[in-house]
């Protein structure tokens, strides 16, 4: 009976998804924000997962692991492909400064905040798992969302200039977050060498192995893409194979899949030829598909039973994001902002969680599955939703009668280049 | 360095890389289900490795899907063992996703107006194939009953049931191979569509035939049954068609009312079909086939974009589907008595398909090319046959012939999967009207 009820719920949701009302909701500002974060898909994943309707059984959850790894590979590759030498060399200084300050602020504020909150909530828990969870939440807090269209109220050059800087710094933040994940992962005994050698050496090996995977898969990918030529079907196949291979190989060696995939993207971006560069359009075309499927699988994997303590932690992290990140971004990017743009609604954007945060939390969960990390994933998701809602509330126009438009009703031509990619 | 040599080197490098990764597999001291950790990497290996192998086959003017299959067999548990037996269950969801997409494509290829215009040929050839296959395989199986586990001390009932069951299973064919060849060759002429329609029609007939056979044989051997195997089968297969109808209606409704983000909706729909099929013990291929058939014929304009998007996603799907199929087929039965029995029955089956097709096509007044080549599309067997053999093995678990039949069927599938695509490609390429494009052509960017 439960299975039939679950299917009925799914069919109802599917029919609702066909309604014009739903489509309009998606295009409203809040709808754009929430869909950019993948939260509705995550909610559906939770609904069908083992903690709700149980349509996706525990077995199905395990069977979803290769798909989740492929999704991680895709996200990592996408981020890594941004790290082209020619692009990194020309990054404005304020952008680099913003990324560095962001990482430092996470180490100085978010890490202690998470550790203290977790310790207060679980006073008798051993320190190891508490620190691990705090470290995971801190790494997930690095960077910010690159989606700024929902924050653009006015068609002004200042607003678009600030949006551009937020997007570029967000993209760099995503790279920084994955770099931090690599260090965090290596320091926690990842990799095949960990049980056999000194921890310091094991950590070095754990940092070197993803690079080795990246080199091998990157070279293979380059050759395969050259052979694929201009064929869209072949390029898509090669691309999917690369993402699954890089992420899967890392997971098999006990390493973070996201790190290896990102490094593979870096290798591909910097040894690329014309074919490699031309296949990036598939990444952009497939963006929504993969992001939605990945969010669905993440929803199935997380454990929503976080209790009031988990909710409190998520609120604390979201609150810290709202208080710290926009101010930090304004200060760091000030030199690159036109006068008056520092207080544009787009500068609230850094309060929103980076889409890479979800991927980092899933990567850690897949690498070392545990109820703790399943709940940590739920806390990361909740913090993301809360920070999106807070950003929406804070970025609403304050003037009475100010024109509120849906995202789709503005001219897309004024949205600016997709540097760093939008979620 | 020429392209095939570079491909071969890339393939060898990939296999060596994965062998090393497999050797370094670590669980970080955590308890995990066996095979879970390596399944992700195996997915990547099968996807890109089969694609490279397909290119090698293409360079040798062989069908690419033969390369997909061969690569799966090579790296699978039967040979190199890089994809291990315990990893295969964790590729099931991915495989079901691929199966659902193939089913949608297959259903979408069958237009009722075309089917009605070719109805006489489809029905005559389909019925002819079933009659000839059943009769020929049953007769050929009689002297081979020793290899089928029916010894001298077997009862008459056991003998007859074993022969009837293997003859029935042999009538199944795989629409997936025909679909994959249509996509690979971009075959748009009437002949490939007719061939596919015959395969699908025959498999739908098999639903009824198998239900009757399993009911009668289980009554004969297991005593008065409450009809539960037949009931289960009717629910399994009939329910699949009904679920497909619902899925097709929802997809068409979305395509009509919203029509956006098809690239997201289709994989989600396939995910839904795979999930629901597993939960309700349905056959995902049939569910998706029914959905595709309904959409194409009831809402053709609304679902045009949907089918175009599906076609764009097809190549990686075929790579995964056929590579996993190859990895799943155990090659050990090919050695020894089972292998010889399977080879003999496969040969008889192929001959019967040819004879039945020729007779049916002649009766329907089909053209010479159809009479000569339409039999080829019915040679390959895959998922449907595996499912039926599994039902037999489960229903008659206590009988001596259950496991031998399963092994022989698996061996037959292996042989036919290798040979079948080659025959199908030859048939499609030689079609006189709107001859299929060669697989060497590439999409324009």
Please, what sign has the CA dihedral across residues B196, B200, B205, B209?
positive
Does A22 score more than 80 pLDDT?
no
Predicted pLDDT of residue A275:
61
Q: Are B64 and B12 within 8 A, CB to CB?
A: no
Least Cα distance to A392 among A13, A19, A21, A39 occurs for A39
Contacts of B92 in chain A (CB under 8 A): 63
pLDDT in the model for residue A418 = 35
- Count CB neighbours of B239 within 10 A: 17
DSSP character string of B262-278: HHHHHHHHHHHHHHHHH
Predicted pLDDT of residue A295: 84
Query: Taking CB atoms and an 8 Å cutoff, what residues of chain B touch A64?
Result: 93
Cross-chain CB nearest to A65 (options B90, B280, B316): B90
**What are φ and ψ of residue A187, in 5° steps?**
-80, -10
Q: Which of A126-135, B70-79, B205-214 is predicted least confidently?
A: B205-214
| pLDDT confidence bin for B266, thresholds 50/70/90 | confident
Out of A409-413, B270-274, B302-306, least confident range? A409-413
Placement of tokens 């308890």 in the chain: B31
Point out the least confidently predicted range of B54-58, B144-148, B409-413: B144-148
User: Does B271 contact A10 at a Cβ distance shorter than 8 Å?
Assistant: no
Section A391-397 average pLDDT: 80
The residue with greater pLDDT, B181 or A59, is B181
Residue range B365-386, pLDDT digits in tens: 988 889 999 999 999 987 778 7
Judge whether A416 is closer than 8 Å to chain B, CB to CB: no
**pLDDT for position A404:** 45
Report the pLDDT averaged over residues B83-92.
85
pLDDT band for B86, please (50, 70, 90 cuts). confident
Chain A CB contacts of B26 below 8 Å: 191-192, 194-195, 252-254
Q: Which of the residue ranges A1-10, A120-129, A312-321 would you say has the lowest mean pLDDT?
A: A1-10
The contacts of residue B298 (CB under 8 Å, 6+ apart) are B248, B252
Gap between the Cα atoms of B212 and B215, Å rounded:
5
Distance between CA atoms of A9 and B144, rounded to whole angstroms? 52
Could you tell me if B15 and A212 are in contact, meaning their C-beta atoms sit under 8 angstroms apart? Answer: no
A66·B39 Cβ contact <8 A: yes
**What is the rounded CA–CA span in Å between residue B210 and residue B202?**
12
Q: Which two tokens stand for residue B327?
A: 């990895």
Provide the pLDDT for residue B340. 86
What value of ipTM does the predicted structure carry? 0.80
- The pTM for the full model equals 0.81
Give buried/exposed letters for B115-147 (b at 16+ CB in 10 A, else e): beebeebbbbbbbbbbbbbbebbbebbeebbeb
Mean pLDDT value of segment B265-279: 80
Question: Which residue in A7, A213, A248, A374 has the most chain B C-beta atoms within 10 A of its own C-beta, making it the best mutation to test that interface?
Answer: A248
**pLDDT at site A175:** 93
Task: Answer yes or no: is pLDDT of B442 > 80.
Answer: no
Is the pLDDT assigned to residue B11 strictly greater than 90?
yes
- Reported as a pLDDT band with limits 50, 70 and 90, residue A152 is low
Does residue A141 surpass a pLDDT of 90?
yes
Q: Average the pLDDT over A8-29 and give the result.
A: 66
pLDDT tens for B394-421 read 888 878 888 888 888 888 888 888 888 8
Cross-chain Cβ contact A234/B51 below 8 Å = yes
d(CA A129, CA B56): 50
Torsion B271-B93-A224-B183 (CA) sign: negative
C-beta of residue A25 within 8 angstroms of C-beta of residue B258: no
Cβ contact A252–B313 (<8 Å): no
| pLDDT average, residue stretch A276-285 | 67
| Residue carrying structure tokens 């008659």 | B396
Of A60, A234, A253, the CB nearest to B25: A253
CA nearest to B271, candidates B93, B110, B92: B93
A55 touches chain B (CB under 8 A): yes
- Chain B partners within 8 Å of A216 (Cβ): 13, 17
Say yes or no: A229 contacts chain B, CB-CB below 8 A.
Answer: yes
Residues in chain B with CB shorter than 8 Å from the CB of A7 are 276, 279-280
Nearest chain B Cα distance for residue A345, angstroms: 28
- Chain A residue with CA closest to B48: the answer is A241
Most confident of A7-16, A113-122, A156-165, B307-316: A113-122
Q: Which residue has the higher pLDDT, B76 or A58?
A: B76
pLDDT, tens only, B310-357: 887 788 888 988 898 888 877 776 677 888 888 999 999 999 999 999
User: Which residues contact residue A68 at a Cβ distance below 8 angstroms, ignoring those fewer than 6 apart?
Assistant: A294, A297, A298, A301, A362, A366
pLDDT of residue A410: 40
Q: What is the pLDDT of residue B10?
A: 93
Tell me the average pLDDT of chain A. Answer: 80
Is residue B445 scored above 70 in pLDDT?
no
Is residue B154 scored above 80 in pLDDT? no
Q: How do residues A83-104 score in pLDDT, each as one tens digit?
A: 888 888 888 888 899 999 999 9
For A169-195, what is the mean pLDDT? Answer: 86
Residue B437: predicted pLDDT: 45
> What is the tens place of the pLDDT at every residue in B162-172?
889 999 999 98
Short-list A65, A50, A21, CA closest to A369: A65
pLDDT at A23 (0 to 100): 67
pLDDT interval class at A406 (50, 70, 90): very low
pLDDT value for A408: 43
**pLDDT at position A100, please?**
92
Q: How far is B285 from chain A (nearest CA, A)?
A: 18
- Number of A:B CB contacts under 8 A? 208
Is the pLDDT confidence value at B269 over 50? yes
Q: Are residues A375 and A195 in contact, defined by beta-carbon separation less than 8 angstroms?
A: no
What is the sign, positive or negative, of the torsion defined by CA atoms of B32, B35, B38, B40?
negative
Cβ of B41 within 8 Å of Cβ of A63? The answer is no
Read off the DSSP letter of residue B211: H
Question: Are the beta carbons of B293 and B110 closer than 8 angstroms?
Answer: yes
Name which of B149, B222, B214, B153 is nearest B400 in CA terms.
B149
Task: Evaluate whether A147 touches A36 at the Cβ level (below 8 Å).
Answer: yes
Scanning A198-346, the segments in alpha helix (DSSP H) are 199-228, 232-252, 257-270, 274-278, 280-301, 307-333
Give the residue, B252 or B278, on which the prediction is more confident: B252
pLDDT of residue A402 exceeding 50, the answer is no
Give the rounded distance of the alpha carbon of B335 from its chain centre.
23
Coil/strand/helix, residue A37? helix
Which has the minimum average pLDDT: A116-130, A393-407, B74-88? A393-407
How many angstroms away from the CA of B215 is the closest CA of chain A? 27
Say yes or no to pLDDT of A168 above 50. Answer: yes
Q: Cα separations (Å) of B90 from A61, A258, B118, B281?
A: 10, 20, 41, 17
Task: Give B147's pLDDT tier (boundaries 50, 70, 90).
Answer: confident
pLDDT in tens, A320-367: 999 999 998 888 888 777 776 667 777 888 999 998 999 999 888 877
Token digits for B101? 């997409």
Instruction: State the pLDDT at residue A18.
Output: 57
Per-residue confidence band for A157, with pLDDT thresholds at 50, 70 and 90: low
Residue B224 has a pLDDT of 55
- Give percent of chain A with pLDDT exceeding 90: 27
Q: Does A12 touch chain B (CB under 8 A)?
A: no
Question: Can you state the angle between helices A127-140 and A157-187, rounded to 10 degrees?
Answer: 150
CA-to-CA distance for B352 and B350, rounded, in angstroms?
5
Percent of chain A at pLDDT above 70? 79
The pLDDT score that the predictor gives to residue B51 is 95
């Amino acid at each position: 009976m439960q299975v039939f009820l679950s299917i009925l719920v799914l069919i109802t949701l599917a029919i609702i998804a066909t309604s014009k009302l739903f489509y309009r909701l998606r295009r409203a500002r809040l709808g754009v924000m929430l869909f950019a974060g993948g939260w509705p898909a995550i909610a559906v994943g939770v609904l069908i997962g083992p903690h709700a309707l149980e349509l996706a059984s525990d077995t199905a959850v395990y069977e979803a692991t290769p798909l989740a790894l492929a999704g991680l590979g895709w996200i990592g590759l996408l981020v890594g492909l941004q790290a082209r030498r020619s692009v990194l060399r020309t990054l404005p200084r304020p952008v680099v400064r913003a990324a560095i300050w962001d990482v430092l602020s996470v180490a100085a504020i978010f890490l202690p905040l998470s550790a203290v909150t977790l310790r207060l909530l679980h006073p008798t828990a051993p320190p190891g798992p508490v620190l691990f969870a705090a470290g995971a939440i801190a790494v997930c807090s690095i960077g910010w969302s690159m989606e700024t269209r929902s924050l653009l109220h006015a068609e002004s050059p200042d607003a678009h200039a600030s949006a551009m800087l937020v997007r570029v710094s967000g993209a760099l933040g995503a790279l920084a977050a994955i770099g931090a994940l690599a260090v965090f992962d290596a320091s926690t005994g990842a990799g095949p060498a960990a049980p056999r050698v000194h921890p310091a050496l094991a950590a070095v090996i754990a940092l070197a192995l993803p690079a080795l995977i990246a080199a091998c898969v990157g070279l293979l990918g380059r050759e395969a893409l050259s052979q694929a030529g201009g064929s869209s079907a072949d390029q898509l196949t090669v691309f999917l194979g690369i993402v699954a291979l890089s992420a899967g190989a890392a997971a098999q060696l006990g390493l973070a899949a996201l790190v290896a995939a990102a490094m593979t993207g870096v290798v591909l971006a910097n040894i690329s030829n014309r074919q490699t560069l031309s296949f990036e359009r598939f990444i952009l075309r497939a963006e929504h598909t993969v992001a939605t499927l990945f969010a669905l699988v993440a929803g199935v994997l997380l454990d929503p039973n976080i209790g009031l303590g988990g909710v409190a932690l998520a609120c604390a992290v979201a609150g810290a994001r709202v208080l710290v990140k926009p101010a930090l971004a304004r200060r760091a990017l000030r030199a690159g902002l036109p006068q008056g743009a520092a207080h544009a609604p787009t500068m609230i954007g850094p309060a929103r969680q980076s889409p890479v945060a979800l991927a980092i939390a899933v990567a850690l969960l897949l690498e070392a599955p545990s109820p703790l990390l399943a709940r940590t994933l739920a806390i990361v998701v909740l913090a993301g939703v809360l920070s999106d809602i807070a950003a929406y509330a804070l970025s609403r126009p304050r003037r009475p009668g100010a024109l509120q438009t849906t995202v789709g009703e503005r001219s897309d031509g004024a949205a600016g280049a997709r540097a760093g990619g939008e979620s | 360095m020429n392209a095939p040599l570079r491909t071969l080197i890339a393939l060898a490098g990939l296999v060596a890389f994965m062998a090393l990764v497999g050797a370094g597999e670590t669980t970080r001291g955590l308890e995990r289900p066996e095979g879970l950790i390596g399944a992700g990497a195996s997915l990547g290996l099968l996807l890109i490795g089969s694609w490279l192998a397909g290119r090698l086959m293409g360079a040798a003017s062989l069908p690419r899907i033969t390369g997909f299959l061969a690569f799966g067999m090579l790296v699978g548990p039967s040979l190199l063992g890089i994809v291990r037996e315990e990893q295969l269950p964790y590729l099931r969801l991915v495989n079901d996703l691929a199966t659902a997409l193939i089913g949608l494509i297959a259903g979408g290829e069958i237009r009722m107006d075309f089917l009605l215009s070719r109805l006489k040929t489809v029905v005559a050839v389909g019925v002819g194939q079933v009659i000839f296959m059943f009769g020929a395989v049953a007769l050929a199986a009689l002297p081979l009953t020793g290899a089928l586990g029916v010894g001298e001390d077997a009862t008459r009932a056991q003998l007859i049931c074993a022969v009837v069951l293997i003859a029935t299973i042999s009538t199944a064919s795989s629409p997936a191979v025909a679909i994959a060849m249509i996509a690979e060759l971009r075959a748009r002429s009437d002949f490939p569509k007719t061939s596919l329609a015959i395969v699908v029609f025959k498999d739908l007939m098999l639903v009824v035939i198998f239900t009757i056979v399993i009911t009668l044989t289980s009554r004969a051997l297991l005593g008065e049954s409450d009809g539960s195997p037949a009931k289960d089968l009717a629910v399994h297969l009939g329910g699949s068609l009904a679920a497909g109808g619902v899925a097709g209606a929802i997809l068409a409704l979305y395509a009509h009312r919203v029509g956006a983000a098809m690239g997201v909706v289709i994989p989600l729909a396939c995910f839904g079909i795979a999930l629901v099929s597993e939960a309700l013990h349905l056959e995902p291929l049939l569910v998706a086939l029914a959905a595709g058939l309904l959409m194409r014929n009831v809402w053709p304009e609304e679902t045009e974009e949907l089918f175009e998007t599906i076609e764009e996603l097809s190549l990686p799907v075929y790579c995964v589907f056929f590579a996993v199929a190859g990895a799943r087929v155990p090659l050990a039965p090919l050695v020894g008595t089972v292998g010889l029995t399977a080879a003999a029955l496969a040969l008889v089956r192929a001959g019967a398909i040819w004879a039945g097709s020729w007779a049916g096509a002649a009766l329907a007044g089909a053209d010479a090319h159809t009479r000569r080549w339409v039999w080829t599309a019915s040679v390959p067997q895959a998922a449907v046959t595996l499912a039926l053999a599994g039902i037999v093995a489960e229903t008659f678990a206590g009988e001596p012939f259950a496991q031998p039949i399963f092994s022989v069927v698996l061996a037959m599938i292996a042989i036919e999967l290798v040979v079948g695509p080659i025959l199908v490609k030859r048939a499609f390429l030689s079609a006189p009207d709107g001859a299929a494009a060669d697989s060497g052509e590439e999409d324009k960017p």
